[in-house]
Amino acid sequence: MHLAEDKMSDNTAKAKDTKNTVTITDNATGKSYEFPVLEGSCGPRTVDIRKFYAETGMFTYDPGFTSTASCESALTFIDGDEGVLLHRGYSIKELANKSDFLEVCHLLLYGDLPNKTQKEDFVNTITRHTMLHEQMQFFFRGFRRDSHPMAIMVGTVGALSAFYHDSLDITDPKQREIAALRLIAKIPTIAALTYKYSIGQPFMYPRNDLSFAENFLYMTFAVPSEPYKISATLARAMDKIFILHADHEQNASTSTVRLAGSSHANPFACIASGIASLWGPAHGGANEAVLKMLKEIGHKDRIPEFIEKAKDKNSGFRLMGFGHRVYKNYDPRAEIMRKTCHEVLNELDIKDPLLDLAMELERIALEDKYFVEKKLYPNVDFYSGIILKAMGFPTSMFTVLFALARTVGWVSQWKEMVEEPTHKIGRPRQLYTGSPARPFVRLEDRP
């Protein structure tokens, strides 16, 4: 395996101390405390509260981390108000339109776009590590055929740590890199096998003469009994979908990977934990939920009824594919996905009533006072579900594709954290609201 020793990212902490401070006054005691203000390269200034507890004896409270930076990172920048998403400084729009997924993987992992030789080496390395240990096939066979593919993903990716013992030592930079490259290279094979297993078709081995996206489409849709023609438009759309999902700052699954990794757990186990977190419908499971919702709506005439339901807090219903924790403007990925969605449907000559329904839902929601005031725009998952359906993926595979693409983000974030010399185990505190200490009551004395 070729290792890019000269390209190991420099992960020394880089935030600047602005020499300004924020003063917090405890009105109960009248004492004031000063905390330094740090500055990154872009984004809001950040109060450094690492010594807050030691100095004040108090905790800070921020469930959902809406105001808390959990780490320093040089990978991805989001300005949610402006609808900006940058990877290592490059805009997602430029990357999606001018680059390809493996270049973006190189960019995230090593900090820069590859030059020609680096690209050749990187593509070659990934391409030559797509095969899985043969025994992994038997591992798949332990699952019920009707298992949710994400359940199989969590299990099989976690199981990689039982097969690749030579890349588990996280203190060894070479082993860290081998694990990262293995994960990027093998995850499409696992994803395709998951699909093949669910429909009872033979597993297709990877083909080294194909591009990353083509190979994935081949392993997913080809059968041994006849040739498979790969559409260039579909391969390009697949590649774009991978780029758009490659990384997204400190979202729930990435934070899960970092937290798991902070205890020095092995990288395969960490990525499995990210997959588990991604599965939820408030996160990566949303693209699957969008399709289910569109089917439930069924007809344009019923959109107003569902819009009203989404506004009613007691209904427990939300418009899936709308809203985002960070973007309070149009999600830049959704814009690109919308265009790609039309390209795919034209190429396949699909007139999908669900797409018409989705467009109408988007139009109505964007004009509705509730959605406008709360800045609830369609997110990336709103369109990805429709494209993936058109490409022939069953709904249950949608989140698997998200996991496939996000693996590079997870491993890059994991590597960045492990390589940060001062990184600590993640250990949040809590605001305890349970019973204070009380004496034990023996069973016979309990009411």
For the annotated catalytic residues, the residue numbers are 324, 381
- Residue choice 239, 368, 381, 416 for contact with ligand CMC (CB under 6 A): 381
Taking the least distance from each CB to ligand CMC, the nearer of 111 and 284 is 284
321 binds ligand CMC (CB under 6 A): yes
Verify binding: residue 319, ligand CMC, rule CB under 6 A.
Answer: yes
**C-alpha–C-alpha distance, residues 74 and 35, integer Å:** 23
Which of 322, 383, 398, 410 binds ligand CMC (CB under 6 A)? It is 322
Judged by beta carbon, residue 230 or residue 252, the one nearer ligand CMC is 252
Q: Can you tell me the distance from the alpha carbon of 19 to that of 377, in angstroms, rounded to the nearest whole number?
A: 38
Sole window of 16-24, 73-81, 323-331, 416-424 interacting with ligand CMC (rule: CB under 6 A): 323-331
Q: Does 246 bind ligand CMC (CB under 6 A)?
A: no
- What are the C-alpha distances in Å from 398 to residues 68, 150, 198, 290, 407? 30, 9, 14, 11, 15
| Dist CA 221 CA 207 (whole Å) | 13
Q: Residue 158 or residue 409: which is nearer to ligand CMC going by CB?
A: 409
Stretch that binds ligand CMC, among 52-60, 377-385, 408-416, 423-431 (CB under 6 A): 377-385
Residue 31 near ligand CMC by CB under 6 A: no
- Contacting residues for 50 by C-beta, under 8 A, at least 6 apart: none
**Cα(322)–Cα(376) distance, rounded to whole angstroms?**
6
Using rule CB under 6 A, residue 174 touches ligand CMC: no
Task: Report the half-sphere exposure of 131 (CA within 13 A, side-chain side).
Answer: 7
Name which position in 130, 189, 250, 251 contacts ligand CMC (CB under 6 A).
251
Q: Is 379 in the site for ligand CMC (CB under 6 A)?
A: yes
Q: Least CB distance from residue 197 to ligand CMC, whole Å?
A: 25
What DSSP letter does each residue of 341-356 carry, written as one string? Answer: HHHHHHHTT---HHHH
- Our finding on whether 206 is near ligand CMC (CB under 6 A) is no
**Whose Cβ is closer to ligand CMC: residue 158's or residue 323's?**
323
Burial class (CB in 10 A: 0-12, 13-18, 19+), 223: exposed
Angle at 274 between CA 387 and CA 157, to 5 degrees: 85
Helix axes 398-419, 149-163, angle to 10 degrees: 40
Output the smallest distance, CB 371 to ligand CMC, in A: 7
Classify residue 223 by its DSSP letter.
B
Distance CA 244, CA 268 (A): 23
Site string for ligand CMC, 67-106 (x = CB under 6 A): ----------------------------------------
Residue 376 as a binder of ligand CMC (CB under 6 A): the answer is: yes
Backbone φ, ψ for residue 386 (5° rounding): -70, -40
Tell me which residues touch ligand CMC (CB under 6 A): 251, 282-284, 286, 310, 318-325, 374, 376, 379-381
